[in-house]
């Protein structure tokens, strides 16, 4: 009985619809785990690069030196450094155009950083919707396979004169395998989605805080330049 009711045996003897559902769910599970691993690696890298730049930013290095380093290492920079570079780029462009109004300079830099913030957040949130879809849809796909399998099993039992537990069990077990694999695909995706959503919120809060702090620094610098000019 243990041999006959093994999961592999049940799948091999299930109807083609149940087998197709199981194959689909296994493929979804593999894609989900691939996305989970890639997201873990990317979020750790984002956090590491942001922390590294945050230390450099508050180490006393001049803004021009930080901007030069961010421009030279554009391919290996993190989200925070790219947001800083976009703000400094717009700030310097406005200064080159002889814009002297402090409000205009600050507003231009802030808008550039906000645009950079949205781009970075879109990248960080990539594949999150896929995990949400897997977590919400997989159980229903498995349930569809189960319902179809049970229908198929009872259709076959209708031709039998005597129905016992031994004749009912294999067909029901074949059908329930689809639901089990649907949950196997959905549970890790839901757990990972919740964890990643929390981590991404922390990244977003840190970037927003940096934008405000950098804007305050620019405002103080503009105020100091205005006072020295008078």
Average pLDDT over residues 106-133: 95
Judged against a pLDDT cut of 90, whether residue 9 lies above it is answered with: no
Lowest mean pLDDT among 54-58, 205-209, 223-227: 223-227
Judged against a pLDDT cut of 90, whether residue 161 lies above it is answered with: no
Q: Which residue has the higher pLDDT, 173 or 78?
A: 78
Alpha carbons 160 and 162: distance in angstroms, whole number: 6
pLDDT for residue 2? 44
Alpha carbons 134 and 49: distance in angstroms, whole number: 30
Alpha carbons 175 and 46: distance in angstroms, whole number: 43
**174-205 pLDDT per residue, tens:** 788 889 999 999 999 999 999 999 999 999 99
User: What predicted TM-score, i.e. pTM, was given to this entire model?
Assistant: 0.83
Alpha helices in 58-101 (DSSP H): 63-72, 79-96
pLDDT for residue 1? 42
Residue whose C-alpha is closest to residue 168's, from 181, 188, 152: 152
Residue whose C-alpha is closest to residue 120's, from 81, 65, 92: 81
How much of the chain exceeds pLDDT 90, in percent? 62
Alpha carbons 209 and 217: distance in angstroms, whole number: 12
Judged against a pLDDT cut of 90, whether residue 15 lies above it is answered with: no
For residue 8, the surrounding DSSP H or E stretch is: helix 7-12
């Amino acid at each position: 009985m243990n041999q006959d009711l093994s999961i592999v045996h049940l799948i091999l003897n299930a109807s083609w619809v149940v087998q197709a559902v199981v194959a689909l769910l296994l493929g979804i599970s593999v894609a989900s785990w691939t996305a989970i691993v890639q997201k873990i690696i990317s979020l750790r890298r984002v956090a590491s690069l942001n922390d590294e730049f945050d230390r450099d930013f508050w180490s006393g290095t001049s803004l021009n030196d930080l901007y030069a380093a961010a421009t030279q290492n554009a391919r290996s920079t993190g989200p925070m450094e790219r947001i800083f570079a976009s703000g400094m780029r717009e700030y310097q462009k406005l200064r080159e155009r002889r814009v002297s109004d402090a409000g205009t300079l600050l507003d231009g830099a802030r808008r550039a950083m906000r645009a950079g913030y949205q781009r970075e957040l879109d990248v960080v949130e990539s594949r999150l919707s896929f995990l949400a879809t897997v977590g919400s849809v997989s159980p229903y796909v498995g349930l569809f396979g189960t319902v179809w399998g049970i229908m198929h099993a009872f259709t076959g039992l209708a031709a039998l004169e005597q129905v016992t537990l031994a004749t009912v069990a294999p067909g029901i077990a074949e059908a329930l395998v689809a639901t089990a694999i649907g949950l196997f695909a959905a549970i890790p995706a839901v757990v990972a989605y919740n964890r990643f959503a929390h981590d991404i919120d922390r990244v977003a809060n840190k970037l927003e805080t940096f934008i405000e702090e950098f804007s305050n620094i620019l405002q103080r610098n503009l105020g100091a330049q205005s006072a020295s000019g008078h």
